[in-house]
Amino acid sequence: MLALAACTTPETKVRNSLMKAGLSEHMASCMAGRMVDRLSMSQLRRLSSLSAIKQDNLGKMTLDELIYRTRALQDPEMLRVVTASGFRCAIVN
């Protein structure tokens, strides 16, 4: 179990955090790859804190809501990366 945890990549952690927050697996996977390349580990940890916030009764989070919650973290670079990644992934998919 410990060896498996050591193999977890930052991209996997970000993807799982976005899915826990309520984004679809496809959207979370697409965004995670882009965000890991553009944000620091500290920023990624702060962003993962959003997954602890309770969503609606269905457990879903829209891209708009993710962007709104990211804005509350008051990090312009993080907001730019999340917004650009989200829109790109929404258009490509």
Question: What is the pLDDT at residue 1?
Answer: 45
Helix (H) or strand (E) holding 30, with range, is helix 25-38
Cα separation, 20 vs 15, whole angstroms: 9
Q: How far apart are the first and last CA of the chain?
A: 34
Q: Label residue 2 by pLDDT band (50, 70, 90).
A: very low
Q: What residue ranges do the domains of the chain occupy?
A: 9-92
- Under DSSP, the state recorded for 49 is G
17, 51 Cβ separation under 8 angstroms: yes
Its pTM stands at: 0.81
